[in-house]
C-alpha cells in the first residue's frame, strides 16, 4: 500500500510487506518515545483527535504520539459535546473538522462510522475504534509486540502459537488481530471463550481459509499448555444490553501465577489489550503476575506509541525527515535511570 | 477601531473600514490555513479556550486557528467542570483565568455573560457565543463568505439580496449578521420564518433605520426567487423550553435541488451556519445539494479559520510578523492534491 | 530534598530549605509568567494532566505553567472518560499513562490515590489534589503569597499571625498549609470554624508539637483583630453527604469591607484558595472588598503559576537552562499596559 495520505481504517488494507515496513519505521521511533531525542518534524501540524466515545488511554496515546513528532493536538472527548446530537451527519462533521487539521484520529461507538467519516474527509483519517468493528492500531501494536517478544527468542511471527481468551465476540482488538495473523504462515490459534462470546464465525472462516489452524475451547487451563502467547481480554461490558448479562461471563477465565506455572510452557508471553479488569469478580490477570517478566502488557502499551508515531510519519510522509529536525532532550529523563 | 488588545464581543464594535481591514488580513492567512506555509509568530502564546457550553466545531476552529499561528491552547469544554457551579462569579473566573493565557475565547449559555467576563479579564476576550445574544466571529465569517462568493461574480457586498430562513428568533448568527449588514448600502433582506420564530423586532428596526429593505415572509419557495444568497438555519432546539415545542417548527422550510432549480436564480449561493440538521424530520438542506457548486456551507467553515486567525493576529498585533516567522510545510499536504 | 525526578505528593516532603529554594526559583519564573520573555526549554516534553475530578482552574494552571516552559500538554478532565470505570487499578493506569508523558499531574477524589498512582509511575507525579487529603501546590502557593505580601512590609514568615476561616475539616488547602507552617518559628494560628467543621485534631496536634500557638474560635469578628493574614475558605459542598448538610454551614462567616474596617488591623492581607462562593447565601468575601488593595486572592492564583513552573523546572532539572532557551515576546502583552 501507499501510506502517503492514506486513511488507516482496517487491518484488511495491510499486506505482509506493509506490516513489515511499518514495524521498521516503528523501530526508528524508539529514541523519541524513550526521550533520548526530540524531533520537531511535524512542527505546525495539527492532529484532530476526535473521540466520540471516551477512551483516555487510546486518545492520549494518539495525542502523545503526535506531540512526540512535534505536532499539535486539538481534540474532543465525548459524544455529548458534538454537533452530531443536533442532527448533523457524519459526512458533514467530516467536511467541517477536516478543515481544521492535517490528519484526524477518530473513535466512534458505531461500526462503520469511521469509514463513513473518512469518505468525506479532506485529510487522512485513522480509525481509533469503531464500535465492535475494528481497532486497527491496537491489532498492529499487538502484532508488533508479538514480533518483538519472539525476536528475543530468535523467532519470527511465522509458526506462532497463540491462545486468545475471553470476550472474543465483542473484543474488536481480537477481531483485528485475527485478520492480521492471516498474513503469516503456520499459525496456530486457540480460541477460548464461553460459547455465547465466541469469535464471529466469519472471522474464524477467514483464518481457516488463510491456512491457520484454529481450535476452539471453553476451558482455560488445558488450552494454554502449548502456546507462545496467551492473549487475554476483558468482558466488553459496554457492548452488552445489560450489565447483568455481562456479569454472567465476568471472571470465567482467570490467569494467575500458579496456573501459569502449572500449565504454561516456560516463558510463555502474556498479553492483554488493557484495561484489565482487576475487580475481584473479574481479575482476568492476577496482580501476582506483575513480577513475571513474561507479562508483556505494559510493553504493549509502550509499543502503541511507536506504532502510532510510525503511522503518522508514514501517512504524512516524513519518515525520512524525522532525524533531520531532531536534537537531544534537554530535561531529566526518568526512563534512563 | 483599534484592534490591538481589544475585546471582540459584538458586531456593533465594527465599522465598515474595520470589517474591510479584517477581511484583508484574513486573505493573508490563507497560505497558512491551506498548509502551504507554517508560521511560528505566536510561539509561546497561550489561548484560553473556555467553552462553558459544548460546541466541538467552534471550539476546535478557534483552537486550530491559534495553533496555526504557532500558539498553544488550554481549554475547557463544559459547564460541569467549572468553578461556576461552586458559586464563583464570572468576574472572579475571569480574573483567575486571564492570568493563565494571553487571550481568551469564551462561550457561555447566558446572554451578556461574555461581556461581564471581559470586564474583569486582564487579557483580550473573544465572544465565542453568549446564549441567544451574539456570535460575532460567525457573523464575520458569514459576511466574509458572502464577499468572497460575490467577488467571483465581480460584485461587492453593496447591493446584496439575501434570504434568511428558519429559526430567526433564536439564531444568534442571524442576529449578528443582520447587524453587520447595516454597514452596507442597497441591501435587500427577506426574512422567512414561522411567525413565532421571527427575527426580534429591534433588529428589524435597526436594519430599516440603516436603510435596508426588509421584507417578511412565511413561505419559502416564492421568497427565494430573486436573491444572491439563501441563508438557511437550524431550529435552535436547545433554546426552546421543551423538545416538543421545537418539533412544531422542525422541517418547515426544506431546500433541495428540485426546489432550487425551480425557484432560484442560477448560481444563487446557499449558506448555513452549520450544523445542518440532516434528520429526516428536519432536513433543512437536502444532501442532493452537496454536488451543487453553489453550496457554500463548507467554504463558510473554512473561512471561519481565516477570520479567527486574522482576529488573533490583529488583537495580539502580529499581522506584520506572520510571514517573518514562517517556513514551508514539511509534511504531505492532502489539500494540494 | 533532591527535586530532580521526585514525585511531589505531600507537603511533608519539604524542609524549610526546600521551600526557600522553590520560592527563589519561582521568582525567576516571573518574566515568563508576565509574558516579557518566552522560553522553549521544555520543547518536546509532555505533561500528562490527569484530572479524574473536575477542576478547571487547577488543571489549566498546571497546563499553562507547562506551556510557559515550552512543553506540550495531554489531558483528561473527568472520571467518566477513564478506564478506571472498567475496573482498572490505579497502578495499571499509572504504568500505562506514564509511558505517554515526561511528568504527570494528577487529581483524584480519593485520599491517597495519587501516592498509589505514583508508586507505579515511571515518571515524576505531582499531586493536584487527592480528595480531602492534600493539595501541596496550593499550600506552597499560599505560603509563597504570604511571603511576598509580608516582604512588602519588610517581614519574613517567622512571626506570622494568621486566621483560618470556614470549612477547616474538609478544606485540604488548609490542611497542607497548616503542615507547611510547622517549618517556621513563632507562628500564631487562629482557627475559626463551626465545631463540626473544625480542623482535624491530628493536624492541630502536629502544629502544637512544632511550637505553633494555635487557638480555636467559633466567632469571626473578634478573632481577626490581631492577625497579618485572614485566610477564608469555601464550604466544601462536594465533600458532604448531602447538599442540605452543607447548607447548614454556608454563609456562617462572611467578611466584607465594613467588618474589615471595624475589626482588622490596617493592611491585614485577605486570602482565599478560590473559588469564593459569591452566591448570596454564602458570600464568604463580599465583592466590596474587591477594591481593597490588601485583597490578595488574585495575586494568589497568579503566584500559583510561578510555583507550578518552578516545580516543573526543578523536577525536570532545567532551572539553569530556562533563560538559555528564551527570547522576547513577539506579541502585544496586555499585562504591561
Mean pLDDT value of segment C197-223: 96
User: To the nearest whole angstrom, how far is the Cα of C44 from the nearest Cα of chain A?
Assistant: 6
Mutate to test the interface with A, among C42, C44, C54 (most CBs of A within 10 A): C44
Same domain? B77 vs B182 = no
Residue B2 lies in a domain: no
Q: Which residue has the higher pLDDT, B183 or A171?
A: B183
Q: What count of Cα atoms within 13 Å lies in the side-chain half-sphere of residue A130?
A: 22
d(CA A110, CA C300): 47
How many other C-beta atoms are found inside a 10 Å radius of the C-beta of residue B157?
24
Span B100-150, pLDDT tens digits: 999 999 999 899 999 999 999 999 999 999 987 889 999 999 999 999 999
Whole-number Å distance between alpha carbons of C268 and C254: 16
Residue A3, domain member (yes or no): no
| CB environment C195-204: b (16+ within 10 A), e (fewer) | eebbbeeebb
| Residue B153 and residue B126 in contact, taking contact as beta carbons nearer than 8 Å | no
Mark whether A60 and A110 lie in a shared domain.
yes
Asked if C95 and C217 sit in the same domain, the reply is no
Nearest Cα residue in chain B from A48: B60
The nearest alpha carbon in chain A to B290 belongs to: A92
**Closest-approach residue (CA) in chain B for C63:** B74
pLDDT at A79: 64
Average pLDDT, integer, range B5-26 = 97
- For residue A214 the three cell numbers come to 484454529
Bridge partners, residue B285, by sequence: B255
Task: Domain count for chain C, please give it.
Answer: 2
Q: What is the pLDDT of residues C256-306, one digit of tens each?
A: 999 999 999 999 999 999 988 888 887 889 999 999 999 999 999 999 999
Q: What is the distance in angstroms between the Cα of C324 and the nearest Cα belonging to chain B?
A: 15
| Same domain flag for B146 and B130 | no
Question: Which pLDDT does position A133 carry in this prediction?
Answer: 85
Backbone φ and ψ for A264, nearest 5 degrees, come out as -85, 150
Q: Is the pLDDT of residue A136 over 90?
A: yes
Count B/C contacts: CB-CB distance under 8 Å.
113
Check if the beta carbon of residue B50 is closer than 8 Å to that of residue B106: yes
- State pLDDT tens for residues C9-53: 999 999 999 999 999 999 999 999 999 999 999 999 999 999 998
Annotated catalytic, B234? no
Contact between C64 and B325 using a beta-carbon 8 Å cutoff:
no
Rounded Cα distance, A233 and B76, in Å: 34
Which of A22-31, A79-88, A259-268, C274-283 comes out lowest in average pLDDT? A79-88
**A157 CB-side CA count, 13 A:** 21
Residues C71-90: tens digit of each pLDDT: 999 999 876 545 666 788 89
Residue B326 lies in a domain: yes
Angle at A291 between CA A288 and CA A296, to 5 degrees: 100
Hey, which residues does C326 pair with through a beta bridge?
C39
Q: How many CB atoms lie within 10 A of CB C211?
A: 11
CB-closest option in C44, C74, C87 to A275: C87
Residue A307, CA distances (Å) to A23, A55, A74, B74, B332 in order: 7, 18, 20, 27, 19
The shortest CB-CB distance from A274 to any of C5, C96, C122 is to C96
Q: Name which of A159, A225, A160 is nearest A192 in CA terms.
A: A225
- The Cβ of residue A328 has, within 10 Å, a number of other Cβ atoms equal to 9
Asked whether residue A219 is domain-assigned, the answer is: yes
* Domain co-membership, C184 together with C142: yes
What is the average pLDDT score of chain A?
Answer: 93
Q: Which residue of B73, B83, B311 is the best one to mutate when testing the C interface, meaning the one whose CB has the most C CBs within 10 A?
A: B83
Within a domain: C143: yes
CA distance A314 to chain B (A): 10
- The model's confidence at residue C336, banded by pLDDT at 50, 70 and 90, is low
Phi, psi of B25 (to 5 degrees): -65, -40
E strand map for chain A: 37-39, 46-51, 72-76, 103-108, 125-130, 161-165, 188-192, 213-217, 229-232, 269-271, 326-328
The verdict on B222 and B331 lying in the same domain is: no
Q: How far apart are alpha carbons A156 and A150 in whole angstroms? A: 6
| Residue C289 and residue C307 in one domain | no
Higher-pLDDT residue of A229, A56: A229
More confident position, B81 or A93: A93
Listed in sequence order, the residues at least 6 apart from B154 whose beta carbon sits closer than 8 Å to its beta carbon are: none
Same-domain status, C231 and C182: yes
Same domain, B202 and B263: yes
- Cell numbers 414561522 label which residue? B194
Average pLDDT score over chain B: 93
With beta carbons under 8 A apart, name residues in chain B contacting C70.
44
Distance from CA of C277 to the nearest CA of B (A): 4
Q: What angle do CA C221, C224, C229 make, to 5 degrees?
A: 145
- Could you please report the per-residue DSSP string of C141-180? HHHHHHHHHHHTTT--STT-EEEEES-TTT-HHHHHHHHH
At B80 the pLDDT is 55
Looking at the fold, whether A99 and A182 belong to one and the same domain comes out as: no
Measuring CA to CA, how many Å separate A155 from each of A160, A163, A268, B124? 9, 18, 13, 61
Q: A86: pLDDT confidence band, cut at 50, 70 and 90? A: confident
- For residue B163, the surrounding DSSP H or E stretch is strand B161-165
Q: Distance between CA atoms of B120 and B98, rounded to whole angstroms? A: 9
Residues of A belonging to the active site: 57-58, 86, 107, 135
How far is C133 from chain A, CA to nearest CA, in Å?
24
Identify whether B86 is a catalytic site residue: yes
Catalytic residue among B59, B107, B252, B272: B107
The string over B245-279, giving b where at least 16 C-beta atoms fall within 10 Å of a residue's C-beta and e elsewhere, is ebeebbebbebeeebbeebbeeebbbbbbbbbbbe
Q: What is the pLDDT of residue C103?
A: 98
CATH of the domain at C65: 3.40.50.1370
**What was the pLDDT predicted at A6?**
98
- Give me the catalytic one of C7, C59, C107, C252: C107
Report CA C103 to chain centroid distance, whole Å: 19
Q: Which of A161-170, B73-82, B171-180, C254-263 has the lowest mean pLDDT?
A: B73-82
Residue C208 or residue A281, greater confidence: C208
Interchain proximity B330–A43, CB inside 8 Å: yes
- The enclosing H or E element of A299 equals helix A297-315
Task: Assess if residue B73 is contained within a domain.
Answer: yes
Burial category of B216 from C-beta neighbours within 10 Å (exposed 0-12, middle 13-18, buried 19 and up): middle
Residue C1 or A337, more confident:
C1
Average pLDDT of the residues in B233-243 = 81
Mean pLDDT of A317-335: 96
Q: Of A290-299, B46-55, B234-243, C173-182, which gets the smallest average pLDDT?
A: B234-243
Beta strand residue intervals within C211-305, DSSP E: 213-217, 229-232, 269-271
**Chain A residue with minimum CA distance to B41:** A44
Q: Could you say which of A64, A70, A279 has the minimum Cβ distance to residue C100?
A: A64
Task: Provide the residue range defining the domain that includes B93.
Answer: 11-134+301-336
Query: How many Å apart are CA C9 and CA C129, to the nearest integer?
Result: 9
User: What's the gap between Cα B253 and its chain centre?
Assistant: 22
Q: What is chain C's mean pLDDT, rounded?
A: 93
**DSSP codes joined into one string, C94-117:** HHHHTTS-SEEEEEESSTTHHHHH
Answer yes or no: is A2 within a domain.
no
Instruction: Tell whether C188 and C287 lie within a shared domain.
Output: yes
pLDDT of residue A80: 55
Query: pLDDT band at residue B62, thresholds of 50, 70 and 90?
Result: very high
> Among residues of chain B, what percentage have pLDDT more than 70?
97
Contact by Cβ (8 Å): B206, B176: no
Q: Which residue of A has its CA nearest to C95?
A: A298
Residues from C contacting B (CB-CB < 8 Å) are 35, 38-40, 54-57, 59-61, 63-64, 67-68, 70, 72-73, 77-78, 234, 237, 274-279, 282, 287, 298, 301-302, 305, 329-335, 337
- For residue C67, is pLDDT > 70? yes
Which residues does chain B have within 8 Å of residue A87's beta carbon, measured at their own beta carbons? 234, 275-279, 282
Q: Does some domain include residue B4?
A: no
The reported pLDDT for the residue numbered C147 is: 98
Task: Quote the strand ranges of B36-160, DSSP E.
Answer: 37-39, 46-51, 72-76, 103-108, 125-130
Query: Is B292 found in the same domain as B143?
Result: yes
pLDDT digits (tens, 9 = 90+) for A244-287: 888 887 778 889 999 999 999 999 999 999 988 888 887 889 99
Partners of residue C123 in chain A, C-beta under 8 Å: 334-335
User: Three-class SS of residue A213?
Assistant: strand
CA of B67 vs chain A CAs: smallest distance (Å) = 7
Rounded to two decimals, what is the model's pTM? 0.95
Interface predicted TM-score of the whole assembly (ipTM), two decimals: 0.94
Amino acid at each position: 500500500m501507499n501510506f502517503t495520505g492514506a486513511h488507516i481504517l482496517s487491518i484488511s488494507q495491510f499486506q505482509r510487506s506493509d506490516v513489515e515496513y511499518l514495524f521498521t519505521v516503528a523501530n526508528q521511533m524508539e529514541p523519541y518515545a524513550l526521550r533520548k531525542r526530540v524531533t520537531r518534524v511535524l512542527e505546525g501540524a495539527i492532529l484532530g483527535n476526535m473521540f466520540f466515545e471516551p477512551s483516555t488511554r487510546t486518545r492520549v496515546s494518539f495525542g502523545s504520539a503526535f506531540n512526540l513528532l512535534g505536532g499539535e493536538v486539538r481534540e474532543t472527548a465525548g459524544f455529548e459535546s458534538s454537533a452530531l446530537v443536533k442532527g448533523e451527519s457524519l459526512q458533514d462533521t467530516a467536511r467541517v473538522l477536516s478543515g481544521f487539521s492535517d490528519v484526524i484520529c477518530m473513535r466512534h461507538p458505531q461500526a462503520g462510522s469511521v469509514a463513513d467519516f473518512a469518505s468525506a474527509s479532506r485529510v487522512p483519517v485513522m480509525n481509533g475504534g469503531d464500535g465492535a468493528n475494528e481497532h486497527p492500531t491496537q491489532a498492529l501494536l499487538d502484532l508488533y509486540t508479538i514480533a518483538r517478544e519472539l525476536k528475543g527468542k530468535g523467532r519470527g511471527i511465522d509458526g506462532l502459537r497463540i491462545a486468545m481468551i475471553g470476550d472474543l465476540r465483542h473484543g474488536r482488538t481480537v477481531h483485528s488481530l485475527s485478520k492480521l495473523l492471516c498474513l503469516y504462515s503456520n499459525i496456530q490459534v486457540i480460541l477460548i471463550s464461553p460459547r455465547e462470546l465466541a469469535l464471529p464465525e466469519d472471522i474464524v472462516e477467514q483464518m481457516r481459509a488463510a491456512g491457520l489452524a484454529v481450535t476452539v475451547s471453553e476451558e482455560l487451563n488445558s488450552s494454554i499448555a502449548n502456546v507462545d502467547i496467551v492473549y487475554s481480554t476483558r468482558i466488553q461490558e459496554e457492548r452488552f444490553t445489560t450489565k447483568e448479562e455481562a456479569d454472567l461471563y465476568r471472571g470465567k477465565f482467570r490467569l494467575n501465577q500458579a496456573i501459569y506455572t502449572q500449565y504454561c510452557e516456560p516463558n510463555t508471553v502474556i498479553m492483554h489489550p488493557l484495561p484489565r479488569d482487576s475487580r475481584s469478580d473479574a481479575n482476568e490477570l492476577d496482580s501476582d503476575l506483575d513480577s513475571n517478566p513474561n507479562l508483556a502488557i505494559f510493553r504493549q502499551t509502550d509499543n502503541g506509541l511507536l506504532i502510532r508515531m510510525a503511522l503518522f510519519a508514514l501517512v504524512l510522509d516524513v519518515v525520512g525527515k524525522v532525524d533531520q529536525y531532531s536534537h537531544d532532550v534537554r530535561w531529566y529523563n526518568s526512563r534512563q535511570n
